[in-house]
Amino acid sequence: MQGILYILLACFLWAIDTLIRYPLLGEGISASRIVFTEHLILTIFFIPLFAKKIKLFWQSKVAYVFYFLIIGGLGSAIGTLAFTRAFSLINPSLVILLQKFQPIIAISLAAIVLKEKMRKDFIIWAVICLVGGLLISYEDIASGLKDVDFDRSLFDQKFLLGYSLTFLAVFSWGCSTVFGKKLTSCGFKEQEIMAGRFFMGFICLVPILLTGEIQMDVDVNIWGKIIVMVVISGLLGMFVYYKGLTLVSARVGALAEMFFPFCAVIVNWIFLNQALTFQQILGGVLLLIGSTVIQLKHY
């Protein structure tokens, strides 16, 4: 149960991050600029750890390097950029709906990569968690889907690209959960996983910088906001997330991550005075009950 609480705290910190991230996007700051700057700052922050653990990273097996590439390059960099880009191509409600496939991908990969066995009881409670996750986002999904022209959007090139980017993000994050758990099983500590994750993400983002797509500046206000996000979601959020992941299986971790939209709703209620709906509360209760039963029963 302690592991789920850690991941729940991580979700709450990630939700607080959105109070700064989305206004920055609304001000015209590109997602590429934000994500690159975050990885740059975090890579610099972890330089002392790299120096201290240089032998550990230098002597790492090729497999470990691959695991870090998955969680950093694919999950942290490419996944985030793909998800953000998808919002500008297709209806955000579709992005939110398709994102609910992430736990299914993570659970399937956990069975293949980590050999985590799934009992029938786990599947039943996992479905309850998925229903809870859908209920949490029900208002956004239902209102948005009314405006979607499926006859046109299913075959339109722009929309096909949006669907592809969404599934790329979902696949990336599902892989990141599984291989993050793999690294904890290999003996890497939370700080070491974070250092490798952000460094690999930074390396994968450098080519985008070289294309000129990312416009850097010295605006103190923007840098200050990004630094706050780095502390909240990058340092604190990822630390408690990996601490929680060491205590639960990858499949339980994937289900616990579904608390993020519920935490975002809570944050909006607290800071933006947006009322909670019955569906959102019911979804949160189902998600909490389902994930708790799975953890307590060790399904």
Structural domain boundaries in the chain: 2-297
Instruction: Name the pTM for this structure.
Output: 0.85
Q: Are 148 and 93 in contact (CB under 8 A)?
A: yes
In this predicted structure, what is the pLDDT of residue 255? 86
In this predicted structure, what is the pLDDT of residue 145? 58
In this predicted model, what pLDDT tens digit does every residue of 155-174 receive, in sequence order? 567 777 888 888 898 899 99
Residue among 9, 10, 15, 33 at smallest CA distance from 219? 33
Q: Within the chain, which residues score under 70 in pLDDT?
A: 91-94, 140-156, 298-299
- Give the rounded distance of the alpha carbon of 110 from its chain centre: 17
The half-sphere exposure of 239 on its side-chain side, counting CA atoms within 13 A, is 9
Q: Rounded distance, CA 9 to CA 35, Å?
A: 22
In this predicted structure, what is the pLDDT of residue 231? 95
In this predicted structure, what is the pLDDT of residue 214? 76
In this predicted model, what pLDDT tens digit does every residue of 193-204 receive, in sequence order? 999 999 999 999
